[in-house]
Amino acid sequence: MAAAYDYDLFVLGAGSGGVRAARLAAQSGARVAIAEADRVGGTCVIRGCIPKKFMVYASAFAAEFASARGYGWTLGETRFDWDAFREARDREVARLSGLYVANLNNAGVDILQARAELLGPHEVALPSKGLTLTADKILIATGGAPWRPDLPGIEHALVSDEIFDLPRLPRRLTVVGGGYIAVEFAGVFNGLGVETTLVHRGANILRGFDEDLRAHLAEEMERRGVKIVLGQEPVSLEKQGETIRTRLSGGRVEEAEVVLFATGRRPATANLGLERAGVRLAPSGAVEVDAASRTTVDSIFAIGDVTDRLNLTPVAIREAHAFVDTAYHGKPTAFDHANVPCAVFSQPPVGTVGLTEAEARHRGGAVDIYRSAFRPMKGTLYGGAERALLKLVVDRESQKVLGAHMVGPDAPEIIQMAAIAVKMGATKAQWDEACAVHPTTAEEFVTLRTPAPDPAADALS
Ligand code: NDP
C-alpha cells in the first residue's frame, strides 16, 4: 500500500522531535523525507537549550572568579569578550547542526530545505520548490515560536530568538516575563555584568513551580544582583536615542538599551494548511492529538511543542520514539507525561520533578514536607551568603515521595537522578536507605528525617 505514495513518512520540521522520528523511522526501513525551512536542529540546537547553556556557562565565571580569592587565588584582570564567545558558541552550534544533517543522511532520510504545508491527509506542498509530494503518514513537528503582546512600541523589544546575536552587550537590560526564559536570561546577563531588571506581572517568578522554590530562587537572584519588579506589566515602550523606556502598569518606567520579552511561546501552526487537511487545532493554536500523538486525521500525527503538552526537548524526543514504535514497530506506545523532571538554568539553577506541595495538597490526603535550606560548603571559605534549598513532598499514607525540588549548585544534575526514584514510586524510607555521599549538597535528599510542621494539623490543635 505504502508504495502508492512518494514516501512512507513525511516530517514537517527538523527540530529535536522531527529529526529523531525521521531517523528512527528510516532506520526501521521506512522511506522518509523531512522538510525544514531553517537550519536543521530546531529551537533546542539553534536558538534554545544549547546556545543558552553556553551562555549560562559563560556568565557563571564571574561568580567563580569572585569566590576564588577565598581559596587563595590571586587573579589578574578578567575581561569578557562577547565577540570571541559568540564565535566559539556559534561554531559549536554549527557543528551540532551538521551532525544532525549527517545522521539523517546516514539513515537515508531525504532532507528538503524548504517550508512545507499540507494539502490533504496524504499530500504536502513545498511552494518554494514547486513540489507536491505524497506520503502514507505525515508528522507535524514544527515546534513553537516566541510570542509577545501587541503593545505600543513593541517593535523596540527583542524575543529570545534574537537575543543570541546582540552585536554588543548592553549596559542595562529589561527582561519581561517570569517563566523559564526570563529567569534564565536575567541570570545570564546579570552574570555578564549587565545591569538587569526582571519585570513580571505575577506575585512571584516561575508560576506553577513549588512555592518555596519560587521564593527561594527570587531571593537568591536578587542577592546576585538581578532587580525583580513584581505585580506590574509593561504598557508601552518608547525609544529615545539608545535608551528604551518601558512604562509599567504601576506607572514606573524602566530604562535599558535592550528589552527582552520572554512572555511565552506559541505552537507554530500558522499557514501549514492544517485546517485544509482536516487537522483540528485547540484554541491555543496547538495541534490536538491523542495519547498516540495522532491528530483528528488518521494519517497525520504531531509531536513536540506544536502539540503544547509539555514543551521540553526530551519530551519531544520521547514522543518521537513512541510514534515510531507505534507506527513502524507494531508496538503501540504512549509516552507517559507524568513525573517528567525539568531544570531551569537560572543562577542558582533549579531542578524539579513530580508534584509541588500545593499540587499534592490539592489532590487531597495528608502530605509530609521535608525541607532544608542551608549554605553549601563551598561558600564558607569566601563568605558567600548563597543558600541552597532541597524539598521533598511525601504522601503521608503511602509514604511515596511525590515530588523533589531543589535550588542550588548542580540542581539539574541532581534532579535527574532523583527523578528515577520518583518515577519508580520509591517511598521516603527507600530514599533514606540510600547512604549519603559526603560532603555533598545532594546528600540532604537522603538525610532529611523530620517533616516540617503541618499547617493543617496546627490549625486543628
Ligand atoms: P513561560 O510560559 O514559561 O513563561 C511566560 C511568562 O510570561 C510567564 O511568566 C507569564 O506570566 C508571562 N506573560 C505571558 N503573557 C504576558 C503578557 N501579556 N504580559 C506580561 N507577561 C506575560 O514561557 P517562556 O517564554 O519562559 O518559555 C516557553 C517554554 O519554553 C517554557 O514553558 C518551557 O516549556 C520551554 N523552555 C524550557 C527551558 C528549560 O527546560 N530549561 C528553558 C526555556 C524554555 P504568568 O506566569 O502570569 O502567566
Give the Å distance between the CA of 222 and the centre of ligand 1: 20
Q: Whose CA is nearest to atom 4 of ligand 1?
A: 179
Give the Å distance between the CA of 106 and the centre of ligand 1: 37
Give the Å distance between the CA of 125 and the centre of ligand 1: 33
What's the confidence (pLDDT) of residue 343? 98
Residue-wise pLDDT for 150-209, tens only, equals 999 999 999 999 999 999 999 999 999 999 999 999 999 999 999 999 999 999 999 999
351 forms bridges with which residues in the sheet?
343, 406
Residue 460 has pLDDT above 90, yes or no: no
Cα(199)–Cα(276) distance, rounded to whole angstroms? Answer: 40
Q: Which of 263, 288, 315 is the last residue of a domain?
A: 263
Residue-wise pLDDT for 396-418, tens only, equals 999 999 999 999 999 999 999 99
Domain residues for 368?
348-460
Cα(315)–Cα(311) distance, rounded to whole angstroms? Answer: 7
Q: Is the domain of 211 the same as that of 306?
A: no
| CATH number for the domain that contains residue 40 | 3.50.50.60
Q: Is the domain of 25 the same as that of 138?
A: yes
Cα(160)–Cα(52) distance, rounded to whole angstroms? Answer: 10
Give the Cα-Cα-Cα angle 358, 360, 372 (nearest 5 degrees). Answer: 70
438 is catalytic: yes
Q: Tell whether ligand 1 has an atom less than 6 A from the beta carbon of residue 148.
A: no
Q: Tell whether ligand 1 has an atom less than 6 A from the beta carbon of residue 363.
A: no
Cα(143)–Cα(159) distance, rounded to whole angstroms? Answer: 16
Q: Is the domain of 62 the same as that of 90?
A: yes
Collapsed DSSP state (helix, strand, coil) of residue 65:
helix
Q: Which amino acid is at 80?
A: F
Cα(10)–Cα(26) distance, rounded to whole angstroms? Answer: 11
Q: Which amino acid is at 267?
A: P
Q: Tell whether ligand 1 has an atom less than 6 A from the beta carbon of residue 312.
A: yes
Residues in the chain: 461
Among 397, 403, 401, 392, CA closest to 359: 403
Q: Tell whether ligand 1 has an atom less than 6 A from the beta carbon of residue 267.
A: no
Cis bond before residue 170 (omega within 30° of 0): no
Cell 558558541, residue located: 89
What's the confidence (pLDDT) of residue 402? 98
With a CB cutoff of 8 Å and minimum separation 6, the contacts of 73 are: none
The residue-averaged pLDDT of 202-227 equals 98
Q: Tell whether ligand 1 has an atom less than 6 A from the beta carbon of residue 209.
A: no
Q: Tell whether ligand 1 has an atom less than 6 A from the beta carbon of residue 231.
A: no
What's the confidence (pLDDT) of residue 459? 60
Give DSSP secondary structure letters for 337-403.
Answer: -TT--EEE--SS-EEEEE--HHHHHHTSS-EEEEEEEE--GGGGGTT----EEEEEEEETTT-BEEE
Residue 458 has pLDDT above 60, yes or no: no
Q: What average pLDDT is seen over the chain?
A: 97
Whether 192 and 78 have beta carbons less than 8 Å apart is answered as no
- Best substitution site from 263, 266, 413 to test ligand 1's pocket, by max atoms within 8 Å of Cβ? 263
Assigned domain for 193 exists? yes
Q: Whose CA is nearest to atom 24 of ligand 1?
A: 264
What's the confidence (pLDDT) of residue 457? 64
pTM of the model: 0.97
Q: Is the domain of 272 the same as that of 140?
A: yes
Q: Which of 263, 281, 307 is the last residue of a domain?
A: 263
Q: Tell whether ligand 1 has an atom less than 6 A from the beta carbon of residue 372.
A: no
What's the confidence (pLDDT) of residue 373? 98
Whether 131 and 4 have beta carbons less than 8 Å apart is answered as no
Residue 53 has pLDDT above 80, yes or no: yes
Q: Is the domain of 305 the same as that of 389?
A: no
Cα(298)–Cα(307) distance, rounded to whole angstroms? Answer: 16
Q: Is the domain of 247 the same as that of 372?
A: no
- Best substitution site from 54, 214, 232, 265 to test ligand 1's pocket, by max atoms within 8 Å of Cβ? 265
Q: Is the domain of 72 the same as that of 221?
A: no
The residue-averaged pLDDT of 109-123 equals 98
Assigned domain for 336 exists? no
The residue-averaged pLDDT of 438-449 equals 98
Assigned domain for 341 exists? no
Q: Which of 235, 263, 291 is the last residue of a domain?
A: 263
> pLDDT-derived band of residue 455, with 50, 70 and 90 as boundaries?
confident
Assigned domain for 339 exists? no
Q: Is the domain of 364 the same as that of 240?
A: no
Residue 461 has pLDDT above 60, yes or no: no
- β pairing state of 227-230 and 195-200: parallel
Grid cell at residue 365: 490526603
| CATH number for the domain that contains residue 437 | 3.30.390.30
Q: Is the domain of 138 the same as that of 284?
A: yes
Q: Number of structural domains, the chain? A: 3
The residue-averaged pLDDT of 340-344 equals 98
Q: Is the domain of 14 the same as that of 125?
A: yes
3-state secondary structure 237-273: EEEECCEEEEEECCCCEEEECEEEECCCEEECCCCCC
What's the confidence (pLDDT) of residue 456? 67
φ, ψ of residue 348 to 5 degrees: the values are -75, 160
Assigned domain for 342 exists? no
What's the confidence (pLDDT) of residue 206? 98
Assigned domain for 224 exists? yes
What's the confidence (pLDDT) of residue 2? 47
Q: Is the domain of 49 the same as that of 30?
A: yes
Grid cell at residue 326: 507505534
Assigned domain for 244 exists? yes
Q: Tell whether ligand 1 has an atom less than 6 A from the beta carbon of residue 351.
A: no
Give the Å distance between the CA of 345 and the centre of ligand 1: 14
Cα(20)–Cα(293) distance, rounded to whole angstroms? Answer: 15
What's the confidence (pLDDT) of residue 97? 98
Assigned domain for 337 exists? no
Cα(451)–Cα(399) distance, rounded to whole angstroms? Answer: 12
Q: Is the domain of 15 the same as that of 129?
A: yes
Q: Using the atom order of ligand 1, give the atom closest to the CA of residue 149.
A: 18
Residue 87 has pLDDT above 60, yes or no: yes
Rounded to whole angstroms, the maximal C-alpha distance in the chain is 75
**What percent of the chain clears pLDDT 70, i.e. is strictly above it?**
98
Residue-wise pLDDT for 278-325, tens only, equals 999 999 999 999 999 999 999 999 999 999 999 999 999 999 999 999
